[in-house]
Amino acid sequence: MKAYKTNEIKNISLLGGKGSGKTSLAESIMFECGMLNRKGTIDNGNTVCDYFPVEKEYGYSVFSTLFYAEKNGKKINFIDCPGSDDFVGNVITALNVTDAGLMLIDAQYGVEVGTQNQYRTVNRIKKPLIFAMNKLEAEKSDFDNVLTQLKEVFGNKVVPIQFPVTSGPGFNSIIDLLLMKQLTYSGDSGKATISDIPADLADKAEEMKANLFEMAAENDEELMMKYLDEMELNDEETIDGIRKGLIDCSIIPLMCCSGEKNIGVDRMLEILGEIVPAPTDMPAVKDTEGNEVKIDPNGPLSLFFFKTTVEPHIGEVSYFKVMSGTLKAGTDLNNMNRGSKERIAQLNAVYGLGKTQVDMFEAGDIGATVKLKDVRRGNTLNEKDCEHVYDFIQYPAPKYQRAIKPQNESEIEKLGAVLNRMHEEDPTWLIEQSKELKQTIVSGQGEFHLRTLKWRIENNDKVMIDYLEPKIPYRETITKAARADYRHKKQSGGSGQFGEVHLIVEPYKEGMPEPDTYKFGNQEFKMSVRDKQEMPLEWGGKLVIYNCIVGGAIDARFIPAIVKGIMDRMEQGPLTGSYARDVRVCIYDGKMHPVDSNEISFRLAARNAFSMAFREANPKVLEPIYDVEVIMPAECMGDVMSDLQGRRAIIMGMNEASGMQQINAKVPLKEMSSYSTALSSITGGRASFTMKFASYELVPGDVQEKLLKEYEESKQEED
């Protein structure tokens, strides 16, 4: 394999909704370029891109797969991405290290929810996008209808550069507007016979070519002036205009193909090699210090590792992009994240499990290496004196959580190691050891996402696991002031224990005045503040403690113990054992014994006094509320709305988004546990949602009563 220069490299994410035919197209691309003697099929489980056992089990992509094609002196790196929104992390990673997206549109079904989900991701990351209408040979395919739909949803920036002579089972010919020729394919050899455009399609082709000229010219003032003068552009000018439009994200070219039948694939590769921006055409990435890092083969050598996998018979494979400089086999580099040194002994151009050994990669290229000592996903490796570090990939918040535990308790450590490795492979699998909930929580993008994780753990690592409903991180607070005192007294052989604490609790709010006078019944309590401790709590909210003790009733050396006792109960609230928040405490009196008083006595006295006062202060349970955004077809809106209202949702607004309906709501986390599965069921998989923590709010009275009863029952079972 030749060593490709930076300007000969194209990096493309292969996108499309579930079932749009990406894996079949990838097989045809590699077959067309001579990398495969025979195309694999999903049914036979022998495709290049779906080689993990879990992918063969489910029949579609779970992980992104790197492969390359060589065409007309260009190297095109593809990253084939999963179509399911549950695996959006792979799409985000791929788009961040490539320079354009090629999105397949199923000619039978047009714009699907998967299309729109991935379009939003592409749009957010601001990467060029190209559409390819696939499966034009299918019985229900309809090019003209789907083109109209694409323009309705994505606007007039969708511009065909090809169209089929006919859609459906007879599909074998494409009119190419760049060549202004007809390409006719026979069998699945992928080779086209080139001929003139039939007379009955000539006017249609001329009209569409004029529209293409206009769209291409809009992206360059000189081209626009020439187009206005001559009403046409030459081939080079048209290509240049399309490329500039892609960089500006102002044009979405549309091609035609059948990945299954290998129709149009050869020409697609030629067009991609011409119109896709080179790595040097795209805006420079910034390092963590805000410095732009230009794709320059003569710059300092810097690599970004965006993916690691463990492959059969090989071990760990590390995938990287050369951000700057030229990488040669045998180079020693510094790991900027882990402080270690690595030798890149072997360089590979990758196509699935297949690997072609190469001598060098120039800036902008994507490749892989094996058996590094200490490299993780997200690490930066640099040559000496290069200080760049990268952290430019942002992943979405999780939507689905489960508590996880091994069926065999002796395998807890093994499970932990497996989960950490899984997170390295897919960063949207999040693992948390929750001290608060006393559970190991795994989070992902949906029910299928976590079901895939379970399949891999049980089938690959032979650890049988159970998923449990995760506990909800409730919070406790108070709504009025209350006072209490408690004496801890214990006398046994030897020294005893004695400590008495009097305190007042009240709700804390930012900006409230300093404590002065409190009245409970007929008794007034005047506060004389000697000291104040304001403690932001790691779980949210604050605890503010005032030392208002006068006359030496409690020695100052016991105040830290009293604070610890209060904090004990803040960490395990009296109502449900949840964290408490937003409480102000005034310690105003107490008693001590010259011999028997000690720190433990005052800690226990403070703990019990705080619990008693908390229970008298009209305590309330708070629950986490999330901002939820649901996108669905219009016909599903009624069912989605009804389901949300059944989940105690507050609807905040509705609007239209790219041809779909959008609902914004605030929903308690407790009600979102099974939402991913329910939403898929009621919309036939045509809706998607995102959720983000918003605030803690009071639970309804009936819900609080139920929570308190459940907590009391659990305490009795423990006793």
Q: Is residue 359 part of a domain?
A: yes
Summarised one tens digit per residue, pLDDT across range 671-688 is: 998 898 899 899 887 788
Q: Is residue 715 part of a domain?
A: no
Q: Is the pLDDT of residue 103 over 90?
A: yes
Q: Is the pLDDT of residue 116 over 60?
A: yes
Q: Is the pLDDT of residue 719 over 70?
A: no
Same domain, 146 and 180: yes
Same domain, 466 and 481: no
Query: Which residue, 422, 437, 471, sits at the end of a domain?
Result: 471
Query: Which residue, 237, 253, 281, sits at the end of a domain?
Result: 281
Same domain, 255 and 153: yes
Q: What is the CATH number of the domain that holds 318?
A: 2.40.30.10
Same domain, 171 and 40: yes
Per-residue pLDDT at 548: 96
Q: Which amino acid is at 615?
A: R
Per-residue pLDDT at 658: 65
Same domain, 556 and 665: no
Summarised one tens digit per residue, pLDDT across range 378-420 is: 999 999 999 999 999 999 989 899 999 999 999 999 999 999 9
Q: Is the pLDDT of residue 42 over 60?
A: yes
Q: What is the CATH number of the domain that holds 105?
A: 3.40.50.300
Q: Is residue 312 part of a domain?
A: yes
Domain count, the chain: 5
Q: What is the CATH number of the domain that holds 495?
A: 3.30.230.10
C-alpha 3/C-alpha 458 separation (Å) is: 42
Torsion from C-alpha of 261, 266, 267, 273, nearest 10 degrees: 140
Same domain, 78 and 176: yes
Q: What is the CATH number of the domain that holds 457?
A: 3.30.70.870
Q: Is residue 718 part of a domain?
A: no
Q: Is residue 447 part of a domain?
A: yes
Measured in whole angstroms, the distance separating CA 473 from the mean position of its chain's CA atoms is 22
Same domain, 62 and 208: yes
Q: Is residue 712 part of a domain?
A: no
Same domain, 37 and 163: yes
C-alpha 188/C-alpha 257 separation (Å) is: 12
Per-residue pLDDT at 2: 87
**What does the pLDDT average to over 113-132?**
92
Beta bridge partners of 310: 316
Q: In what order do the strands lie in the sheet with 497-507?
A: 482-490, 497-507, 583-591, 542-547, 531-536
SS3 (DSSP) at 358 = strand
Q: What predicted TM-score, i.e. pTM, was given to this entire model?
A: 0.86
584 secondary structure, DSSP code = E
Per-residue pLDDT at 718: 67
Same domain, 632 and 653: yes
Query: Which residue, 471, 505, 526, sits at the end of a domain?
Result: 471
Same domain, 418 and 546: no
Percent of the chain past pLDDT 90, that is, above it, reads 76
Q: Is residue 387 part of a domain?
A: no
**Residue 1: pLDDT band with limits 50, 70, 90:** confident
**Residue 121: pLDDT band with limits 50, 70, 90:** very high
Same domain, 424 and 355: no
Q: What is the CATH number of the domain that holds 643?
A: 3.30.70.240
Per-residue pLDDT at 333: 97
Mean pLDDT of the chain: 92
169: its two tokens: 């089972």
**What does the pLDDT average to over 127-155?**
95
Location of structure tokens 């930066």 = 380
Summarised one tens digit per residue, pLDDT across range 489-499 is: 987 766 789 99
**What does the pLDDT average to over 57-74?**
88
What residues make up the domain containing 516?
476-617
214: its two tokens: 């206009």
Q: Is residue 391 part of a domain?
A: no
Q: Which amino acid is at 669?
A: L
**Residue 551: pLDDT band with limits 50, 70, 90:** confident
Q: Which amino acid is at 360?
A: M
Q: Is the pLDDT of residue 52 over 80?
A: no
Same domain, 123 and 256: yes
Torsion from C-alpha of 705, 709, 710, 716, nearest 10 degrees: 160
**What does the pLDDT average to over 501-511?**
96
